[in-house]
Amino acid sequence: MKTAAVDAVEAGKPVNVVFGTVVSASPLKIQVDQKLILSAKMLILARNVTDFTVYETVNHQTEDTGGGSGDAAFESHHHAYAGKKAFQIHNGLAVGEKVILIRVQGGQKYLVIDRLGA
């Protein structure tokens, strides 16, 4: 009977927002309170808390720069920089960061949606 009552209460609040602190980056572990530390297998990560690659199309010239060997040919040098380029976004979580999580109904998984602002 008690289990049924708890299940009924939980069903009435399908989303539960919690806050945590990253206590380990690899393997990822997030502490939600004094007794609850979530392991990587319990976490679903939104893209904005992971490293990922984006592709951008660029079409411009580099700026004039001096340098090189001192040869006159290197006094003013620029070149085209064009095409589809891959850029790595380093957005993985680090120890000590505060995060916002949404507990999936049933409480077995947590979606890490973002960091808290600094």
**Tens digits of residue pLDDT in 36-49:** 999 999 999 999 99
Q: In total, how many domains does the chain have?
A: 1
Q: Which pLDDT score, from 0 to 100, does residue 108 have?
A: 87
Q: Which pLDDT score, from 0 to 100, does residue 5 have?
A: 61
Which is it for the CA torsion 18, 31, 50, 42, positive or negative?
Answer: negative
What token pair was written down for 55?
Answer: 């592709």
Instruction: Decide if 18 is inside a domain.
Output: yes
Regarding beta strands 98-103 and 110-115, do their DSSP bridges make them parallel or antiparallel, or are they unpaired?
Answer: antiparallel
Contact 21, 97 (CB under 8 A): yes
Residues of the chain with pLDDT > 70: what percent? Answer: 75
Amino acid, res. 63 = E
pLDDT at 82 over 70: yes
What token pair was written down for 66?
Answer: 């001096």
Instruction: Decide if 44 is inside a domain.
Output: yes
Q: Which pLDDT score, from 0 to 100, does residue 65 have?
A: 63
Instruction: Decide if 101 is inside a domain.
Output: yes
pLDDT tier for residue 13 given thresholds of 50, 70 and 90: low
Q: Which pLDDT score, from 0 to 100, does residue 80 have?
A: 83
**Higher-scoring residue by pLDDT: 105, 73:** 105
| Domain extent for 77 | 13-61+68-115
Q: Is 50 exposed, middle or buried (0-12, 13-18, 19+ CB in 10 A)?
A: middle
pLDDT tens, 21-41? 999 999 999 999 999 999 999
